[in-house]
Structure 1
Amino acid sequence: MKLAILGSGAMGCLFGAAFNRAGESVTLVDVSQPHIDAITTHGLELDTRAGVERLPIPACQPAEASGPFDLIVVFTKTFHTVSALEGMAHAIGPDTHLLSLQNGLGNDAKLAGFVPDGQVMVGASMLPSDLVGPGRVRSHGEGYSRLYPAFGGDPAMAERVADALTRGGLPAQLDPAIHEAIWSKAIFNAAMNPLCALTRRTPGFLGASAEARATIRAVVEEGVAAAHANGRMIDAQPIHDLTQVSMTDHADHEASMLQDVKAGRRTEVDAINGAIVEAAEAKGIAAPVTRTLWHLVKLEEAKLAESADC
């Protein structure tokens, strides 16, 4: 496959490396010129439990990407999805498939504005990854990915993508219940990410706090109730189990929302906590703890924006 990773930060680079190992033709696409320059000059440095490797993968700005691509994997922040794909429109051909592995809910509808519904795939990945510097990514933890066509139809391309990722060292599988998986990940992120961002601490710190653990549990239960009300009959226990894994096996991982507030950037809390609250309230269900965390992170964003203007 000729494929592009649109949004080649921590997760994008991790997946780009897997496709590269599998022998696919990969281009890393990002808007950070220092990041692109580092990858172009030194290769992508990937630090995993297996060791450190440097991979010579092409990297460029969106306008420089040479298409058409067979597959574009979207890893941008959710609020940049439309503008990022508009910037890649020249590289989207009639047969291009789009795959969102982004956080939050509602990404499938955004991708459907650029290709036919049958060429839209969505997925959920439970892998940790941190961008430690331009061209340098660290991923010390285990996980998996699931994907499937967003609107049903032929899963042949999804199967091809899952096979390539697995061959490249990132286990992936097809999951016809992909929307339930996406809801589960969104609920997990709604519980873990805001607390990491607000405390400026990693999951290990949360695991040592009874107050944090109680808050996490409450958010999971609210999210599962919202999912059920919206026809997604997911089980709460696996999500509770994942939060425990996060607080132990991934104790030092910097959640994406924590990375954002440390860098003074806007977070994806609207697409995560906000989307869950809105989906719950649309069905007449309250999600007070999830809503409070949403509002607190938005307050933190406002504070960061005020500091940037000074």
Structure 2
Amino acid sequence: MKVAILGSGAMGCLFGAAFHRAGCDVTLVDVSQPHVDAINASGLELDLRGGVEHLPIPARLPADAEGPFDLVVVFTKTFHTEGALQGLAHAIGPDTHLLSLQNGLGNAEKLAGFVPDAQVMVGASMMPSDLVGPGKVRSHGDGHSRLYPAFGGNPARAEAVADALTRGGLDTQLDPAIHEAIWSKVIFNAAMNPLCALTRRTPGFLGANPEARATIRAVVEEGVAAAHANGRMIDPAPIHALTEVSMTDHADHEASMLQDVKAGRRTEVDAINGAIVLAAEAKGLAAPVTRTLWHLVKLEEAKLG
């Protein structure tokens, strides 16, 4: 399988490494020249619980990626999706499948603008991963991933992708209820990410403070109500449990939104908290705590000018 990882940051590199271990022909595609240069010079460095490994995976700027690819895995920020795929359009062939493992809601519809619906897959991953420098990624937590065709249809390609990732060390399962899984991840992120970003602290700090815990619980309940109103009948208990895991097992993990705020970058809060609020309001519900966190993170972004 010829695979491109479009957006080879922390998560993209983690998944690119898994495909590489499974014997796939992998290209890491990213817009950061220092990151690309570091990977090509010394290999991708992965700091895992089991030790450090260096993998000889080629990295390319989008214009230099040579296709056509069998699979393009999209890990860009949600607001860069269309632009990133346009930049890789020359390497997307008539049989290329696209897989979004991005944060937020609405990613499948964006990918469907570039390939037929039957060639679009979506997924959700709960793996922690941090980009510690050009060409260097750390992942010291456990997790799993799920994926499935976004609009139904034959799951054969999705099964091949899941099998490759599992062989490469990332446990991945087919899940026909993938949209419920995505909603669950979005709700989890809406509860944890903004609080990490606003306090400039990791989940362990949140777990030690009752104010944070109360806010997290409220956001989860608001998100689940919004999901139910939109026909996604998810159970809040696993999401609450996952927030506990985040505050204990992943206590020192820097959430992506925290990394963005510290680096002075735009966050994905619109596709996470904002999407939940709008989905709730479309069904006549309010999500006041989720909305407040959305607005506060937008104020942080406003400081960027």
Q: Which bracket does the TM-score occupy, shorter chain normalised?
A: over 0.9
Structure 1, gaps ≥5 residues long: none
Provide the secondary structure at the position in 1 that maps to 2:132. Answer: strand
Q: Partner of 2:59 in structure 1?
A: 59
Identity %: 86
Shift of 1:295: 0.1
Counting only pairs closer than 5 Å after superposition, residues 1-310 of structure 1 correspond to structure 2 as 1-303=1-303, 305-306=304-305
Counterpart-to-counterpart distance in 1, 2:101 and 2:164: 15
Matched residue of 1:285: which SS?
coil
Matches of 2:167 and 2:250, distance apart in 1: 24
1:240 is paired with a residue of what secondary structure?
A: helix
Distance 2:32 2:139 in 1: 20
CA distance in 2, matches of 1:214, 1:48: 32
Helix, strand or coil at the partner of 1:96 = strand
What is the rounded CA distance, in whole Å, between the counterparts of 1:95 and 1:50 in structure 2? 37
* Amino acid in the other structure paired with 1:59: A
Relative to the length of structure 2, the TM-score reads 1.00
Distance 2:253 2:274 in 1: 23
C-alpha RMSD of matched pairs (Å) = 0.3
Q: Deviations over 1:173-222 (max 9, x none)?
A: 00000000000000000000000000000000000000000000000000
Write the letter of the residue equivalent to 1:105: L
Q: Distance in 2 between matches of 1:169 and 1:95?
A: 26
Q: What per-residue deviation string (whole Å, max 9, x for no partner) do you get for residues 236-267 of structure 1?
A: 00000000000000000000000000000000
**Distance in 1 between residues matched to 2:258 and 2:264, nearest whole Å:** 10
Question: Can you list the C-alpha shifts for 1:22-53, whole angstroms capped at 9, x where unaligned?
Answer: 11000000000000000000000000101000
Instruction: Report deviation, 1:290.
Output: 0.1
Q: Distance in 2 between matches of 1:21 and 1:202?
A: 31
Amino acid at match of 1:138: R
TM-score with structure 1 length normalisation? 0.98
Amino acid at match of 2:177: A
SS at match of 1:81: helix
In structure 2, give the amino acid aligned to 1:270. Answer: D
Q: Give 1:169's aligned amino acid.
A: G
Distance 1:12 1:170 in 2: 12
Partner AA of 1:261 in structure 2: V
Letter in 2 for 1:40: N
CA distance in structure 1 between the aligned counterparts of 2:50 and 2:146, rounded to whole angstroms: 23
State the AA in 1 paired with 2:46: L
How far apart in 1 are the matches of 2:140 and 2:218?
A: 28
Distance in structure 2 (CA, Å) of the matches to 1:114 and 1:2: 18
Alpha-carbon distance between aligned partners in 2 of 1:264 and 1:289, rounded to the nearest angstrom: 24
Q: What residue ranges of structure 2 are gaps of 5+ in the alignment? A: none
Q: Deviations over 1:42-93 (max 9, x none)?
A: 0000001010000000000000000000000000000000000000000000
- Between the aligned partners of 2:26 and 2:251, the Cα distance in structure 1 is 31
Q: Which amino acid aligns with 1:42?
A: S
Distance 1:30 1:116 in 2: 24
Letter in structure 1 aligned against 2:36 = I
Residues in 2 aligned to 1:125 and 1:136: alpha-carbon distance in whole angstroms:
20
